[in-house]
Amino acid sequence: MPLPTPVRATRLSFTSIVPSTTVSAASSIRRGFSSSALSVAAIPSVSALTAPRPHSSSLRRTIAPLVFTAASSAALCHSNMSATTLHPGVKKGSSATADAAAPGNATPLSSQQQQPASPHVVVRDLGDQGGASRDSAAPPQRLRRSFKDAVEVVEKMTSRKPNKCPDAYETTQRYLDRLGFAPILQRIRFVHIAGTKGKGTTSAYTAALLQAYGFKVGLFTSPHLTDMRERTVVDGRLLDETTYAQYFFEFLDKYEALQYSSSQLDRDIAAPSRANFFRFMFLLSLYIFEQESVEVAVMEVGMGGRIDSTNTVPAEVSVITALGYDHMEILGNTIEEIALEKAGIMKPNIMCFAAPQLDHPETRQVLEKHAKEVDAPLILLDKDVLPIRSWPRLAIGGVHAIEDSKLALMAARRIAGIPPILPLDEVERSVLQTMTFAGRSQIVPIDGGADVTVYLDGAHTVESIAGATEWFLEASAAATKDAAPRRVLVFYTSRDPKRIMKAFMPYVSQFCKIVVAQIANPRMTSHSADPSDVDGKMSQAREEMVASTECWRSLYREVPCLPCARPFETLEDILDLVIPAASDNEDAAKPAQVFICGSFYLVGDVVKLIRRYEAGERRHE
């Protein structure tokens, strides 16, 4: 019985179509079945719904790596992640393989994929058509081109107030054209992931699974926690600083050359006043992925979807994770408006997998309607859709991570040509059980956890904070084997605290106190103080802290609130606040279980402090 005609914007249950089977994806592929027409006795033929767009390298890359199942499983083992590990991804096992996969030192997959001696992409001399002209003024030459210099360039970019860029999509398209990036978009295969909650985690799972299938994978995410190289990862690893700096300045030269183009339109879009950091990093990621001969790139949307710079990639599959309220000043004031912006990543005849939207069921209709309008196949991943009943225990905690990993599996299998109806292969299970992602459900015992254990999660919306808090309550109880452990909240938000702090309402009785933090480098917004106005920036930070403190005391006066006068400078600054009891109701004899959330910027600050502490740095008294 063949699968029915592809369903457009409707709910599909694979369990009603396909009987159970014990044949694994890897074992089927190892026996030589075609990935686009895989069939065994227990499995009907796969329709266009499950078959990916044909690609010459797809079959080659999905057959070979899965032969080494035992080695792959061993290589994927990764249990507790220390704070110094940013993006472990899928680590290689043997020293030979590790050397081959070292950043900037990747071994080509075939003779056809040898990295060229010179960059793949050049700014073409387009004369009157635009582009860099021999007759136009030349950009200044940069003599300092180290990684430290690249960091300084980025710091200058991010110190400016951001442009809202209502024309971000059109401007990015112009950049892609003038930089000559069309061949990159044609060669690399793309997975595009949007959503409010869990899109970073979903992106990481997707990249790890694709890497386990044997593809060379690029991962573009934002924001970074401690190192800008986190935004552009190749095969689960950061590029070394020298290689990254080389690519960074090669691209920056081409990017800045447009300011000196013979085309007025080029000069207008490249004007410093219109500069956009996210767009720059997105374009840089494409350049890096091309130089590193990446085969599949997983691209996380920055904000929204419809007009986001990433929406310029020709994705083979798109994903929309759980939706919620965020960036309302740009995306809209209602959840339906926000959903429509996210749905903007759907493309005609390109499969889109979406979360079931349990937090906001009303968004389902928005997604379904838009899918029909653009003729995009849509599958809402409801409970009974994926016929895999036994889901492995994930290294990333929380119910939300299960949903994210299922979306990732569907997207990765789509690219690899593995039917979604097959049971999990042992390699896939190993990835799901071991993959971790810094700043997401991360647990770090301090000095063995005798006095303090830190739980880090960058959750910053009402929905994501609620989910992360549930994870923390469960994880802290399990770690201490205590039904009522001593729980402390360290929190920061740049959003409206009256709206955000309501997320804690069902759980507030579980905390003995809250520390309202400040952060070292707040995200610049259109409402931020001028970057050169030091007093204004300090005043703004104090106002945010005061607003959060007053809001907490108004909502939850029974839980003591300790405001911070300045950002944390050392880990001991945090320990001094969380270890002593703040009230008679707090049992100081118990080790403090400290939940840090509300902002990736706060999480990044704390990860840096923990790293220094683990390296032996101590506060000077």
What's the pLDDT tens digit per position in 379-418? 999 988 887 778 999 999 998 999 999 999 999 999 999 9
Query: Residue 137's pLDDT band (boundaries 50, 70, 90)?
Result: low
* Strand-pair partners of 254: none
Query: In the prediction, which pLDDT does 599 show?
Result: 95
Query: Residue 323's pLDDT band (boundaries 50, 70, 90)?
Result: very high
User: Could you give the CA distance from residue 36 to residue 241 in angstroms, rounded to a whole number?
Assistant: 39
The 10 Å CB-count burial string (b at 16+, else e) for 148-158 is: eebbebbeebb
Query: In the prediction, which pLDDT does 36 show?
Result: 32
User: Could you give the CA distance from residue 116 to residue 397 in angstroms, rounded to a whole number?
Assistant: 42
Note if the bond before 522 is cis, omega within 30 degrees.
no
DSSP assignment of 220-242 = E-S--SS-GGGGEEETTBPPPHH
Q: What is the pLDDT of residues 329-363, one digit of tens each?
A: 888 889 999 999 999 999 999 999 999 999 999 99
- The label of the residue with tokens 């990935």 reads 35
Those residues whose C-beta lies under 8 Å from the C-beta of residue 617, and which sit 6 or more positions away, are 570
Q: How does DSSP classify residue 295?
A: S
* Segments making up each domain of the chain, as ranges: 147-434, 442-615
pTM of the model: 0.79
Q: 473: alpha, beta or left, given left = phi > 0 and alpha = psi -120 to 50?
A: alpha
Q: What's the sign of the alpha-carbon dihedral 260, 261, 264, 267?
A: negative
Higher-pLDDT residue of 552 and 143 is 552
- For 552, the 3-state DSSP assignment is helix
Class of domain 147-434: alpha beta
Q: What percentage of residues in the chain have a pLDDT greater than 90?
A: 64
The yes/no answer on whether domain 442-615 falls in CATH 1.10.150.120 is: no
Give yes or no for a contact between 221 and 440, defined as CB atoms under 8 angstroms apart. Answer: no
* Strand-pair partners of 193: 300, 319
Query: In the prediction, which pLDDT does 142 show?
Result: 79
Average pLDDT of the segment spanning 305-328: 93
Higher-pLDDT residue of 84 and 306 is 306
- C-alpha radius of gyration, the chain, whole number: 25
For 64, how many CA atoms within 13 A lie in the half-sphere containing its CB? 11
Q: What is the pLDDT of residues 447-483, one digit of tens each?
A: 999 999 999 999 999 999 999 999 999 999 999 999 9
Q: What is the pLDDT of residues 176-216, one digit of tens each?
A: 999 999 999 999 999 999 999 999 999 999 999 999 999 99
* Strand-pair partners of 233: 219
Q: What is the mean pLDDT of the chain?
A: 80
With residue 443 as reference, give the H or E element that holds it.
strand 442-446
For 50, how many CA atoms within 13 A lie in the half-sphere containing its CB? 27
Domains 147-434 and 442-615 equal at CATH topology level: no
Query: In the prediction, which pLDDT does 269 show?
Result: 84
Query: In the prediction, which pLDDT does 389 show?
Result: 78
Query: Residue 327's pLDDT band (boundaries 50, 70, 90)?
Result: confident
For 266, how many CA atoms within 13 A lie in the half-sphere containing its CB? 27
User: Could you give the CA distance from residue 200 to residue 209 in angstroms, rounded to a whole number?
Assistant: 14
For 26, how many CA atoms within 13 A lie in the half-sphere containing its CB? 21
> Rounded to 5 degrees, what angle do the CA atoms 426, 293, 350 make?
65
User: Picking from 39-48, 567-576, 590-599, which range would have the lowest pLDDT averaged per residue?
Assistant: 39-48
Higher-pLDDT residue of 19 and 605 is 605
Task: Give yes or no for residue 528 having a pLDDT over 70.
Answer: no
Query: In the prediction, which pLDDT does 524 show?
Result: 53
Those residues whose C-beta lies under 8 Å from the C-beta of residue 110, and which sit 6 or more positions away, are none
User: Could you give the CA distance from residue 305 to residue 300 in angstroms, rounded to a whole number?
Assistant: 10
Query: In the prediction, which pLDDT does 572 show?
Result: 97
Query: Residue 527's pLDDT band (boundaries 50, 70, 90)?
Result: low
User: Could you give the CA distance from residue 235 to residue 237 in angstroms, rounded to a whole number?
Assistant: 6
Question: Which regions of 153-312 does DSSP assign to beta strands (E)?
Answer: 189-194, 217-220, 232-234, 296-300
Give yes or no for a contact between 516 and 563, defined as CB atoms under 8 angstroms apart. Answer: yes
To the nearest 10 degrees (0 to 180), the angle between helices 362-374 and 335-343 is: 30
With residue 256 as reference, give the H or E element that holds it.
helix 241-257
Task: Give yes or no for residue 431 having a pLDDT over 80.
Answer: yes
Those residues whose C-beta lies under 8 Å from the C-beta of residue 283, and which sit 6 or more positions away, are 172, 175, 176, 179, 181, 251, 255, 309
Average pLDDT of the segment spanning 305-309: 92
- The label of the residue with tokens 């799901």 reads 432
User: Picking from 17-21, 191-195, 489-493, 523-527, which range would have the lowest pLDDT averaged per residue?
Assistant: 17-21
Task: Give yes or no for residue 283 having a pLDDT over 80.
Answer: yes
Average pLDDT of the segment spanning 279-290: 97
Residue 471 corresponds to which tokens in the numbers above?
Answer: 């994870």
Q: What is the pLDDT of residues 249-272, one digit of tens each?
A: 999 999 999 998 888 888 888 887
With residue 424 as reference, give the H or E element that holds it.
none
